[in-house]
Structure 1
Amino acid sequence: MLTSKEIRNLWLKYFESKDHLIVETKSLVPLNDPSLLWINSGVATLKDYFSGKKIPPKKRLTNSQKSLRTNDIENVGFTTRHHTMFEMLGNFSIGDYFKSEAIEMAYDFLINVLKLDKEKLYFTYFSEDLETKEKWLSMGIEESHIIKGNKDTNFWDIGSGPCGPCTEIFFDRGEKFDKRGLELLQNDEENDRFIEIWNIVFSQFNNDGEGNYTELTQKNIDTGAGFERLVSILQNAPTNFDTDLFLPIIKEIENFTNYKYDPENYFKKDKEIEKINVKFKIIADHIRAVVNAINDGVSPSNVSRGYIIRRLIRRAYRAGLQLEIKEKSFLFKLTEVVKSSLPFNINVEKVSKIIKDEEMLFSQTIEQGQKLLDLELKKNKDQFDLKIAFKLFETYGFPIELTQEILKEKGVTINISDFEKLKKEHAEISRSSKKEGMKKVINSLNLVQYKISEFIGYDSLETTAKILFLADSEKELPSSHNQKLSYVIFDKTVLYATGGGQKHDQGYIIQNNIKIPVLEVFKDKFGNNVHVVKGKLEKNKEVNIFVNEDNRIKLERNHSSTHLLFKSLREQYGSFIKQLGSDNNENRLTFDFPLEKKPTEEEIQQIENRIISYIKSETNRKYLETDIKTAEQMNAIMTLEETEYMDPNNVRLVEFKNITVDLCGGTHIENTKLIENFKIVSVENKGTGIFRIRAITSNQLVDEFYDKEIEKSKELLNNILLKIQQLDSNYVLEQINYDNKKNALEKLKFLIEKSREKHKELLKNTTKKEFNQEINTINFNSKEFYINIDLDSNSLKNNAAHLREKHPNITFILGSKQKDKIIIVVASKSLNSKELFIKITSHFSGSGGGNEIMAQGSVKNIDNFKENLIEFLKNE
């Protein structure tokens, strides 16, 4: 019996022998691809080669790519083949071989390498793709084993971009898995008998998005074979979980519980054993995904990828509870066995710690959730509000299934038919499919076969040029249309193309005395700058190209400042700081970097001050051209992703002497003094230990920023002063000098905090004065109440908190009459304040919120409110 490692190696070595380059598996986190949440297929890491954005290292590629999909997370454990993390075996042709060779290699590998029985293989094809059918027949496949499919089953199309027919290969596991026959394939029914093990997509058309199909100049092959499925078949395992990919993990889980996993139960069909098996499968599957995702840099959180990893950990943890695993953390102990089952490098110590911390957090969450459940059940023993179940899910990460289970034990049922609607937004975050994110193909660009254009915009802002390529999205043109987009490549250009985080230049073209704006500039796979225009151009006439100088200098300020920011961050925190993304346009710059905790205000100020010192140093910019080895010897930093277009023997460096030297193809300011000024305007937490700095440059933008912030701070300070003067009319603040805007803003912030403290102090003193007297209470049903609705609204909350602590057996209802409403606060240690508050506001047409010990809001101002309130409380 072949092991999983042997099967994976056989695949890679076979296609290597067929002149394919082996591509190592990539991280589960996509690199520079916001269209994908996860790498979700074998081709996902290669799509820039297929779309024509990049030149592949070789036209024939093969891989075994780890992938992650969570759109079927609820099915994992209950079916034989659903997984969160899986491997996809692939062989790819990018403009090289096509249908015939792809089919021949598939047949050869399955029959002659894996030694599968040809009589157990079945093949599907697209009904219009008779070429594929004839090829399978020529390979000796009987016609009864070839199934005709339709556009839904055998045509890969995402609505816009490359597409084409596909052929699938199925393995028949026999009647013991399903007594039904070929109708399962013919009707495309889900089953455990005919297992899809191979799919070859023949990418030969381009869909313009309107359902119009044209032949691709470059035809491609995208093959995907499910690794876990192949292993299952070759190891004669009833399900994917009964292979050497999962069984070692399951055996390790058995060490923590008295329950045992039974692989023979697939055929025995014992319902109780199946319930136990499902829990083992959930844990084994999810821990594989979690370990690999965390190892690739994702940490549990409430957003994006982190949200999904948290969800997987908690689903696995819950399964452990159902297996009666008593340890508060056990999943982290499975990291080592996961590592041994896969050929990927895993940092066991780091990954284990993150998983353990999350387990401990969730163990507390379960206790909190149980308390909330018990509280709600005390209110209503017969029904349970679905919104509370959703709150448990969203706020505490409490699985709805666990809520159901606990309620069932107490004899309470819950209708969860609408639960999916409530969590739809959260489910969308985990949706990922192979169809996401494929680039729309500009088919005509495949007609360009090499680098034909030169960028001369480092030193020039205008030039005369010849048109070498002029086309619409499908074909070359002798002249362009006034109202349609055209794609133009010149022999030389001064307009910078979007790349390395820097936005493209603004500019225009003049031909025949007509000025045509350039809408966009991007690079093709050879590094040619492609200009997108809408206007009349004639290919046989020269043009003049101009850069918008004002816009260029704004771009250069922000791009150079990105380099200075990177340097300042490394000075602040250390050389481990990496650039995880940047985006520079004419208005601002952003910079993403890793850090364990959010930078403090003091640290941000130090980073900013350092950059201002770089600007004041008036350091000249210098461009250098050298080879990659020399750049490394100069300790040049690879700041941006522009290097994909650089020749390793001729790389471009930008140097600000004694500050930083970076590998970069962008444009930069001539001297740091031209940046003028720099201000960090925000620091955002992007989740999973990644932060984004947003900053602005130039005196004008920084001054405008300070003006807006000063006005906002003035307004806030005035509001606080009004509240203070209601309590102390003699309180005044010192004057502020606004000549230096930065100092003025800092002074305002200081005075805001000082005034807030003063207001708190006055309120505290007011509270003491207000209630430095005997509390006269009213008794209703053996409960004591104090009611006073003639208080100052500013002191209500503080009064209520003070009195509640001083008199824990009394329930306080304090109010302040306004023009058309009465503001009220309910505070109690002996009753549930929120419950009482809701009853009052429901009866007296009000609203608000709070918690068990204090709630606040307002009710309608009616005559004799206090008397009506007393009467209401008597009857409660």
Structure 2
Amino acid sequence: MSDTPQYLSGSEIRSYFLDFFAKNQHQILPSASLVPEDPTVLLTIAGMLPFKPIFLGQQKPDYPRATTSQKCIRTNDIENVGRTARHHTFFEMLGNFSFGDYFKEQAIKWAWELSTKVFKLPPDQIVVSVFEEDDEAFEIWRDKINIPPQRIKRMGKKDNFWQAGPTGPCGPCSELYYDFHPELGDKTIDLEDDSRFIEFYNLVFMQYNQDAEGNLTPLQNKNIDTGMGLERMAQILQKVPNNYETDLIFPIIQAAADIAKIEYKKADEKTKVSLKVIGDHVRAVVHMIADGITASNTGRGYVLRRLIRRVVRHGRLIGIEGAFINQVAEVAIALSETAYPNVRQRETPIKGELDREEAAFLTTLERGEKLLSEIIAKVKKSKKKQISGVDAFKLYDTYGFPLELTQEIAEEEGLTVNVEEFDEEMKKQQDQSKAAHETIDLTVQGSLDKLAEHIHPTEFLGYTDAQSVAHVEVVLVDGKTVDSAEAGTEVQIVLNQTPFYAESGGQIGDKGYLTGETLVVRVEDVQKESAFFVHFGRVERGTITVGDSVTATIDRACRRRVQAHHTATHLLQAALKKIVDDSVSQAGSLVTFDRLRFDFNCPRPVTPEELQQIEDLINNWIAEAHEAHVSIMALEEAKAKGAVAMFGEKYGAEVRVLDVPGVSMELCGGTHVRNTAEIGLFKIMSESGVAAGIRRIEAVAGPAVLEYLNEREAVVKDLCDRFKVKPHEISDRITALQSELKSTQKQMESLQQELAIAKSDQLLSNAESVGDFKVLVAEIEGVDPNGLMTAAERLQQKLGESAVILGSIPSEGKVSLVAAFSPKVIKEKKLQAGKFIGEIAKICGGGGGGRPNLAQAGGRDSSKLKEALESAKKQLADSLK
């Protein structure tokens, strides 16, 4: 292995690891699913989880030694994702395992050989830790591997005793850390300093089982369970500042940055955090869906939904409007398909699930974000620091806004949420829901079931009549039968006969009126409950009483619109069969007054060219004025003639057939035009994927086309007026404006840099001498984080051996802090800019970090900036004397 290159790709690291242990008699096994067989664990969180029954002695191993690259999901540190260099939800754990075969000494020797000989890590840049009570491991590292004792650190149970969960196999562990700054020497080793050290390999000496009470019982066999973080080793070997900038994740981040038109390296820290969250979470959701997880409100389905929603949310934060996840997911799929072929094989369900969840959550965001911003403004105005649980629950209950998202946005604004009050509101709703289920006989259906023996099924006259006289059979208010209802009352009414179409077959119910001498009832919807048509409406004048005779009149304009859309749906299916594939079949539909929606089975998107052909073909059929014939015939006869059945419909012995000769023949109980010319015009609005192998077309027909085009013409006119251009010049004008905006942004950034430098030069005279060093602590007004960093670095260089701390409030409520330390400050006084500024930022309710010589931090409480700077000045004075 002497020719191993210093730089290795993620795929190469995975291969080198597995090959090394295969040559040492380990069986290479495939990654287990993210859905574990262990019912006590929600998701696969570690490489050892698939072997848990073996470690417990419940199952005999097929091999004494194994090695894997295991997909893992952990969400316990989700808030740190993107904020630190190496926290993830999805990651790959490279592992080697011994099932009662070898133990500590051999595991340690192989770990050292792999790290120093295969991956060529310099031995003097590796520090190890052991459990404080594990003398055996300490002696192996010191005496067998010859690591100096000062580079072997004993640590407590919190850090060096591993367990997969509250119960199960566990044991002491020994961890290997890579030292990025060995020049700082052995006397200052602090393994919690993640700017200097990264843990990359964990050796667990699995020798106990822990029960629910925390009792440890020795396992029958002593086992080895190790884990090397693939992403962490990639960071080390690829010499990048964090896991996210490795070839395993950065292409995903770059895809998101491209969509947002952001240059990653020039982005501010907040934007980078959002891009990292997107990169991490997209990897996670792609693999979760590939392993069969679907979004839901419980269990692992909820984990998936939450991650997708966080991706959407962070996309919005960096300026991405509309759907984008699948563009980024394609990169994640491409990166994974070699090592995990099932990801590409499951591409269709992955993209379908992401499309569906993203669309639903974008709607939720639009509804909820406005209200939440109003709530936050109200809370801040009242000088409070907490959003009430009542407001948070309203967001959740009315708008579907998740509690944790409210908490996340609140935290960005320096606020908290009253979770206890939220839980109380949730319990109230659950109690009310339970009470409602206990009185099910009060529902419309329950009441009608009781009356079924006394009234006849509703006779539908709507195929031929738009108006009819009818008798009022039943009046219901809030689901309960009543004798009468007065003006202002919401009612449900059953008639003996009706021209109103009840919602079915994808077609919505008719609108209209029930009238009498002094009575007016506006009908807004009609639903079918068993054999009864239930008219939902409101008494606008007079009183409606059981036994009354009323005139039932449908809204003819609405009926004509829905008929145009319904017949157009049939033409759409016929056109799809002709142009896309004859195997296309309906998977669902919705026919309303203002549009139609048609879902169909298709393994791929319909191309723009095909959509245009479909639209042209349908408009040709409309212009050709085909007669639409409706006939009643036996089901078998209809099938023999080639009639197509509609999705979700149940058919009796006799069926209704709509036949547009030469174009379409389908079974359908809906209402239709008599001639295709009545449709007028047909326009496709969109085509999208909604589920695995299911596509959706939304379109308009008849008068709705004019409304659709008028709306878009108004937008075009507005743009023409604003830009002073002709319609065909709009696209070029927007492109030019985008270019100008980008140029202006660059100029602004340059001006910010110049402003920072100009203001910083004025501060040189404020530097104070402390011992052999210069100290400068100051606030610079109106400078952004990048400008502040430039100013601090410039001042430190001009002052020589010095420590510079600068603060600014770049936007309302936000704090930016920067520390720049000279080499002598770091080496002689043992101060590190990253750790120092991170502690100072806590005063402002924030945090941060970075390199020993230059680091950046932020905070949420700008009122504390002066206090933070004073504290920094005092600490530097004390430390540098």
TM-score by length of 1: 0.47
TM-score by length of 2: 0.46
